[in-house]
Amino acid sequence: MLSLILTVGAASSCAAQKNKGLSALPPDIRAQAQTALSAAAIGDADRGRIIEEIGKDASGFAVLFREVHDVMKKDPDLLRRVDKKVALPADFVPSDLVSLDGAFPYVVSKKGMQLRAPARAALVHMAEAAREEGKTLVVSSAYRSYDYQVTVFARNVQEMGKIEAERVSAPPGMSQHQLGTAIDFGSITDEFGDTAAGRWLSANAGKFGFSLSFPRGREAITGYRWESWHYRYISPQAAALQERFFLGVQQYLIEFLAALPQP
């Protein structure tokens, strides 16, 4: 009986803490946040930390929430969920792909790469800022079609086996690169994180709307090992929301947004 009382008491305390953390939000946002946080695959400990962060600055969360909601209205695919549980159709191709070739402040490792227009615009601004500080950003991979990802994944499976291949590359339809907003920078190796460009991106990418997709120590959450070179453009507003309230974890933010009622 005592065990049952303690269990019920702990559950009640947890629920009270959740309500306290979100209670200062405007009613419409509070209802959406509660639903989305419950639906997203976020562990209890991290969910509690997210709610705690929201509670510390409910007004700031509300402002960014509305701004990100507006971004999603204007561009539904920009923050679209794509991962090992949610795939894009084989025929998904962004309608606004533009070439990365030309006289830009970044360097491309090969010709013919593309990004969505808003991602390239943000990349240009970011590369200009990096260059002003003596850093050069090298783009090594950008948009990939479904068919191209078939080839990439098959090659990795052949070279390292399916289990390891799934840690380092996405099955077709499950790659952020198909969205046209993901970039692999530099050497595409672990060493990139310790380069001047890698350190600069880690410190500054969020200001320009880019987010590291697969951070160190989060493989159980993202499904992929740490990739210091893989950034996704999600908008400055979403990057700020992620950093301030979602523990800096893109996967948490994207799952939360995907669980919201469609704008």
The pTM score is 0.92
The span from the CA of 189 to the CA of 139, in Å, is 13
- Position 1 pLDDT exceeds 70: no
Average pLDDT in the 15-40 region?
86
Average pLDDT in the 240-263 region?
94
Cβ 127 vs Cβ 137: under 8 Å = yes
Cβ 225 vs Cβ 246: under 8 Å = no
| pLDDT tens digit sequence for 130-181 | 999 999 999 999 999 999 999 999 999 999 999 999 999 999 999 999 999 9
| pLDDT tens digit sequence for 58-69 | 999 999 999 999
pLDDT at 148: 97
pLDDT at 261: 81
Please give the domain boundaries of the chain with CATH numbers for all domains.
2-74 (no CATH), 97-233 (3.30.1380.10)
Average pLDDT in the 50-56 region?
97
Q: 87 versus 21: which is more confidently predicted?
A: 87
- Position 92 pLDDT exceeds 60: yes
Cβ 137 vs Cβ 126: under 8 Å = yes
Cβ 155 vs Cβ 191: under 8 Å = no
Cβ 97 vs Cβ 180: under 8 Å = yes
- Position 20 pLDDT exceeds 90: no
The span from the CA of 144 to the CA of 150, in Å, is 10
pLDDT at 262: 72
